[in-house]
Structure 1
Amino acid sequence: MSKPVLCALELNDEALDEKVLAQAARLAALDGAQLDVVNVLPDFGESWVSGFFEEHHHEKAVKDTTQRLTGLCAKVLGDERNAKVRHLVATGTAYQEILKVAETTGCGLIVIGAHKPDLKDYLLGPNAARVIRHSDCSVFVVR
């Protein structure tokens, strides 16, 4: 068995997320690798923005996001395969947290989607580009 495959999903474009997840699952299956799926929530932390949210907003957001990840994995992969997937929710800056999770899990491959970029981003979105630039492992980009 090889190193885990980390699949980073944004959960805001279901069609792209399904493509990214299906590709990550295929790549993990080729090597008999563990499939980890991650989504990163923004961190409002101690900033003035946090004052606009309920006290337990973050915990609720993590719970809801975990349910969305689990549901998407069950839909795309089926219940049996989904039971073996590690569903991870991180909080912070997307590319930084994806890289931290990749390092923590010791993954050998990150699979990430490339959304329709702005002209300033040209080929890749800013998070995908940063993950590619700073990752210690291979990165597979799904369009």
Structure 2
Amino acid sequence: MSKKILVPIDISESELTQQVIPHVEGYAKQDDATIHFLAVIPDYTYFAAYGLGYASIAPDAKEREAAAMESLSEIVAKFNLPEDRIEKHVLSGSPKDHILQLADDIDADVIILASHRPSMSTYLLGSNAAAVVRHAKCSVLVVR
């Protein structure tokens, strides 16, 4: 039974989002679940990695979060789900850390996330999906 579903969304990857839509809708309809959509955006350290000059002209956190929430809302509108069962979250930082933390915070029953096909770099370095599968306390459905 899945009463709370966490769906991490990469707002820059519309193709991956298309892959998870039928799975999320199916799970949600089976159990009248609440669906928590999560978008994780880069924090200041991401911009600083490109140099202090770039970091100084990066939009401030509130602007980036507002833009991400707008993008997430547009994506969520593509799902055929009742609005009263949808929660949206935008956080900045490490995707895998925020996915795992939010899953714990909301006591998620399942995490449904899309993933690229594995490549040599993800076998060597790992991916967000792999980290979530390894460390989540709930079930994880990885859609490819």
Q: TM-score, normalised by structure 2?
A: 0.83
Please say if residues 36 and 85 of structure 1, whose CA atoms lie closer than 8 Å, have aligned partners that are also in contact: yes
Q: Deviations over 1:28-53 (max 9, x none)?
A: 22111101100111222598459524
What is the aligned partner in structure 1 of residue 6 from structure 2? 6
Aligned counterpart, 1:40? 40
Per the TM alignment, residue 92 of structure 1 is displaced from its structure 2 partner at its CA by 1.3
Superposed counterparts of 1:94-133, under 5 Å: 94-122=95-123, 126-133=127-134
User: In 2, are the aligned partners of 1:25 and 1:35 still within 8 Å (CA)?
Assistant: no
Q: CA RMSD in A?
A: 2.5
Q: Aligned pair 1:67/2:82, yes or no?
A: no
Shift of 1:13: 1.8
Rounded to whole Å, the distance in 1 between the matches of 2:60 and 2:86 is 26
Q: Distance in 1 between matches of 2:23 and 2:46?
A: 37
Q: Which residue is 1:89 aligned to?
A: 90
**How far off is 1:96 after superposition?**
0.6
The residue aligned with 1:140 is 141
Mapped to 1, the partners of 2:132 and 2:13 lie a distance apart of 19
- The one-character-per-residue Cα deviations of 1:87-117 (angstroms, maximum 9, x if unpaired) are 1111111101000010111110000111133
The one-letter code of the counterpart of 2:97 is Q
Cα distance in 1 between the residues matched to 2:11 and 2:56: 21
Question: C-alpha displacement at 1:27, in angstroms?
Answer: 0.8
Equivalent residues of 2:112, 2:140 under 8 A apart: yes
Per-residue CA shift, 1:1-42, capped at 9, x if unaligned? 853100011122212112213312221221111011001112
The SS at the match of 1:120 is helix
Deviation at 1:60, TM superposition (A): 1.0
Q: Tell me, what secondary structure is at the counterpart of 1:136?
A: coil
Name the CA distance, whole Å, in 2 between partners of 1:68 and 1:47.
20
Amino acid at match of 1:128: A
Kindly, what percent of the aligned residue pairs are identical?
27
Pair 55,10 (structure 1): closer, same or farther in 2 beyond 3 Å:
closer
Contact 1:112 1:142 in 2 (8 A): yes
Paired with 2:56 and 2:25, the residues of 1 have a C-alpha distance of 36
Could you list the runs of 5+ residues in structure 1 that have no partner in the other structure? none
Partner-residue secondary structure (3-state), 2:66: helix
